[in-house]
Structures are given as C-alpha cells and as structure tokens.
Amino acid sequence: MLDPQQKMIYLLRDALLQGGHLSREVYENELEDNIPRWHVGLQISGENFLFVVAERSEEIALVLLESQKRLYINEAAREKLAELWPGTYATQMEYLIPLMAEDLVEGALSVTGVQHVS
C-alpha cells in the first residue's frame, strides 16, 4: 500500500505527465476564487507565469496564469505549460511533482511561479 505522499505523486504523474483526467469541479471549488489575487501577485513579483495544482478526493485540477492576465484551466493549462517548456516539460514535472505532492498532502495548494530568464 502506498503512503499518502506516494499516492499523491502517482495522481500527479497521471494528471500532469500521462494526460490523465483533470477535474473542473476541483478547479471551481479550490482554485477559481483565488485567480484575481494570483494575478495581482504576478504583477508584483514580475514572474512570467504561475501555475497552481489542487487535489480533492483524489482528483487533480491545474490552473496556469500568465502575467498578461491570460488564464488556462486544466487540459489547456497542461498544454500551455508544455508549450512554455518545450522539450523539458516532462523533466520539469518530474522535478516538481514530489514538491507539489508534499504541499497537497499537507492540505495546501501547490503554487509555482516562473520567471523566464533569457
């Protein structure tokens, strides 16, 4: 039997790396109300984009916000994130998933801000 963190890693890998189901209901209940606050945070921090993962009842939701106030939800967010990290999406996710899992197991949202450096 998997411990809670290992189970969360499994759920995240399925949703973020293997094209698994992403929940609209989890987005609406856990993420949607925070969008305006996160947009303000992006403007203040100078980051290019921010993505947030939530989990409830073994269902995952993903939202990606760009600093220009564009919003991507679930599958569109996953696709956009892969587009922003061409060729390195899977590597980046493999690095981040254990960190995300730790946040989610503790009952928090996993919030990751990214600033592109040329």
What is the pLDDT at residue 117?
56
- The β-bridge relationship of strands 49-56 and 59-66 is antiparallel
**Rounded distance between C-alpha atoms, residue 17 and residue 8, angstroms:** 13
8 A C-beta contact, residue 7 and residue 60: no
Residue 88 amino acid letter: T
The structural domains of the chain, with segments of one domain joined by +, span: 4-114
The answer to whether residue 50 scores a pLDDT higher than 90 is yes
Residue-wise pLDDT for 91-108, tens only, equals 999 999 999 999 999 999
Examine the pLDDT at 43 and tell me if it is beyond 90: no
Predicted TM-score (pTM) of the model is: 0.93
pLDDT digits (tens, 9 = 90+) for 60-76: 999 999 988 899 999 99
